[in-house]
Amino acid sequence: MEESDLKFWKDAGHVARRTIEGIKGEIVAGKSWDDLIDSAERFIRRHGGTPAFPVTISVNDIAAHYTTNSMLSKPEGFEGEMTFEKGDLVKLDVGVHIKGALADNALTVEVGGGGKHTDQIRAAREARDASIEAMVPGGTWAQVGAAAEQVHTDAGYQPITNLCGHQLERWNLHSGVSVPSFDCGESNQSFKGGPEVDAFYAIEPFNTTGKRGKIEDIPPATSSNIHRVTGNITVRRAVAKKKLKPLGATMARYIEERYSTLPFAERWAYSLLEKPFPGEEQESIRRKWNSLIKKLTSIRFLESYSALRCVDKSPVGQFEHTVWMTDGGPEVLTVE
């Protein structure tokens, strides 16, 4: 790999780590989820990066993929206010890109540090580190997953078996290779092969106090408030096939120009629709937005993500690093 190209990946890793370390102290009782997310995204930009995906906050049994929307709607089934409370188990997941080179990292903290979740937090962090240590040239993904599971089960927790780490490629956050966080077995066809030299991976084992070790989607399909341009159809082609009207085509171009194929937040893009309709009531603009997303999804220009939660409604812990695989072994890029 060219040194000049590698520098972008390393710089993204540094910004991602500085962000997560700089913001974690703001996860305190009384702080709103939205304020923390806004603070983290501003931190990324101030330090020379761009969010590779919306900063996500996952509290207690919510496992991943939740960011606030422009209406500050609560996740389905969530009771209470979207502010941190003492004893909450909070996952902060931050991604950064610099010219499309990506870094993805996460940590878990207990609000107030009362010690209720200390062992679970430690197990999640140590499982991440054990997974990275197991990434050796010529090794297998089964070995990596087994290393994570051993840590979790030894500490009395279940690994989440249907939520995995992933390979990173330029402008592509989930590029096809999944990294298991459990003992999947050498013959598992979903996790063929192993770490490849000069590839980048997000290593992120999850654990839970629940017995089944599974996550499920939180309805509806857009519950994460995150979308992504698929790259499967161009705006020009959609217009030529009369699948998009002029306003839809304009919005699609705006979104693609700003976010390429990386995930973006509803709250980032929603304001783009307000500009063509100055003075129009929010209820009307919201209907137009919902119709636009439905249309762009139906023609496969966009895909939407669901937020994820533990099926047992049990607390979930997670730690994550981005790793570059070298001839001599893994190098962690999300370091300060």
| Angle formed by the axes of helices 246-259 and 266-274, nearest 10° | 140
Q: Which of 41, 61, 88, 104 is catalytic?
A: 104
214 burial via Cβ count (<10 Å: 0-12, 13-18, 19+): middle
Ranges of CATH 3.90.230.10 domains, the chain: 3-218+312-332
Query: What does the DSSP 8-state code read for residue 182?
Result: S
Instruction: Provide the 8-state DSSP code for 73.
Output: P
Q: How far apart are the first and last CA of the chain?
A: 22
Q: Where in the chain is the domain with CATH 1.10.10?
A: 226-304
* Cα dihedral across residues 10, 11, 16, 17: positive or negative: positive
Position 24 scores a pLDDT of 98
Q: What is the pLDDT of residues 93-133, one digit of tens each?
A: 999 999 999 999 999 999 999 999 999 999 999 999 999 99
Tokens of 223: 């519950």
Q: What is the pLDDT of residues 200-223, one digit of tens each?
A: 999 999 999 999 999 999 999 999
CATH topology of domain 3-218+312-332: Creatine Amidinohydrolase (3.90.230)
Answering whether pTM is above 0.85, one says yes
**Which of 11, 41, 93, 110 does the annotation list as catalytic?**
93
User: Under CATH, which number does the domain 226-304 receive?
Assistant: 1.10.10
Q: Is 28 exposed, middle or buried (0-12, 13-18, 19+ CB in 10 A)?
A: middle
- 21 is annotated as an active-site residue: no
Q: Residue 274 catalytic? A: no
DSSP 8-state code for residue 154: H
- Catalytic (active site) residue 166: yes
Catalytic residue among 174, 217, 274, 303: 174
Q: Which residues pair with 227 in a beta bridge?
A: 264, 304
Q: Is 204 a catalytic residue?
A: yes
Residue 249 three-state SS: helix
**Side chain identity at residue 220, one-letter code:** P
Query: Among this protein's residues, is 104 annotated catalytic?
Result: yes
